[in-house]
């Protein structure tokens, strides 16, 4: 029941976009994969990058998080130029976002406790007891309390995804990036992961940028999407997914978002 008072957000609202991408060009050697990519992500938004296989979704993500440098253009976080930042500024900006990779990217030789503690060891001066308190909190946040001493191989695919999310949340980031979070999961586990993502956004006010081609997740979660196209090498649509699916615009967009009339879940 509402108390009539709104709780303050964990992160103060930003006067500028959480993410701003301006005229980005992504290349592999001389091959242009994406060109003229421009969009913004608002604070607290569940924002999806969608499109078919080979359209450049994961390539774009790698440029956003600094694993690849763009041939042209700029990526900024809260008004700070990430692309052209010096090493100290870049390191500071890296602490403002977390990443959940498609395969979770957990170190197989480390326990969940050790995996989630890695960002804390790298980017903070917390002592061991303080780190372990945060690790326990983050694992509990994703429903993995009591699994601190398990190794990734001892967990199901869905549990590994949640462990990867706990690590992405370790530094209380303002933004979390996801690369195909539902890949390899059955529909029931995928739905539970979607619910967890929504819960974290609502509880912490975290901005979420999600690369996905899964219609169920797109319709269940997305506030707004951009759609990439392989032939266009760029963005061919931007907006709310249901509006794009029913609008009279680009037939490639309607085809992708309806998949021949495939029914999608919305709750």
Write down the pLDDT at residue 166.
93
> Which residues share a beta bridge with 27?
32
How is residue 226 annotated by DSSP? Answer: E
Query: Which candidate, 48, 50, 63, 55, places its Cα nearest to that of 33?
Result: 55
Intra-chain end-to-end CA distance of the chain, in Å: 21
CA distance 109 to 261: 45
CA distance 175 to 120: 17
Write down the pLDDT at residue 261.
56
How is residue 33 annotated by DSSP? Answer: E
Percent of the chain with pLDDT over 70: 91
DSSP string, 81-118: ESTT--HHHHHHHHTTEEEE-TTTT--TTS-HHHHHHH
Rounded to two decimals, the pTM is: 0.87
CA distance 111 to 58: 27
Indicate the length of the chain as a whole number. Answer: 267
**In which residue ranges of the chain is pLDDT below 70?**
1-14, 248, 260-267
pLDDT tens digits, one per residue of 111-169: 999 999 999 998 889 999 999 999 999 999 999 999 999 999 999 888 999 999 999 99
Write down the pLDDT at residue 189.
87
Write down the pLDDT at residue 120.
93
Write down the pLDDT at residue 158.
87
Domains belonging to the chain, first-starting first, are 16-96+206-260 (3.40.50.300)
CA distance 65 to 173: 13
- Continuous segment of H or E residues that includes residue 144: none
Write down the pLDDT at residue 14.
55
Alpha helices (H) in the chain, listed in sequence order: 57-64, 87-94, 112-123, 128-141, 157-168, 187-204, 215-221, 241-246, 251-258
Write down the pLDDT at residue 264.
47
């Amino acid at each position: 029941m509402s108390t009539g008072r709104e709780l303050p957000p964990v992160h103060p609202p930003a006067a500028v976009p959480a993410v701003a991408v301006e005229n980005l060009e992504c290349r592999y050697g001389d091959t242009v994969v994406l060109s003229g990519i421009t969009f913004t992500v608002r604070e607290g938004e569940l924002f999806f990058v969608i499109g078919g296989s080979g359209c450049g979704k994961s390539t774009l993500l790698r440029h956003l998080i600094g694993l690849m440098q763009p041939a042209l253009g700029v990526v900024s976080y809260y008004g700070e130029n990430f692309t052209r930042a010096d090493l100290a500024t870049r390191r500071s900006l890296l602490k403002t976002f977390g990443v959940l990779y498609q395969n979770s990217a957990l170190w197989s030789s480390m326990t969940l406790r050790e995996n989630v503690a890695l960002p804390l060891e790298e980017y903070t001066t917390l002592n061991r007891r303080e780190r372990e308190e945060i690790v326990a909190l983050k694992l509990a946040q994703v429903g993995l309390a009591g699994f601190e001493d398990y190794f990734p191989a001892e967990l199901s695919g869905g549990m590994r995804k949640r462990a990867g999310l706990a690590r992405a949340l370790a530094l209380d980031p303002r933004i979390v990036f996801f690369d195909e979070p539902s890949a390899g999961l059955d529909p029931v586990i995928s739905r539970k992961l979607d619910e967890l993502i929504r819960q974290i956004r609502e509880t912490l006010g975290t901005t979420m940028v999600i690369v996905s081609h899964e219609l169920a997740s797109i319709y269940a979660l997305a506030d707004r999407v951009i759609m990439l196209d392989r032939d266009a090498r760029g963005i061919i649509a931007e907006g709310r997914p249901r509006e794009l699916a029913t609008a009279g615009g680009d037939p490639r967009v309607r085809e992708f978002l309806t998949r021949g009339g495939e029914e999608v879940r919305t709750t």
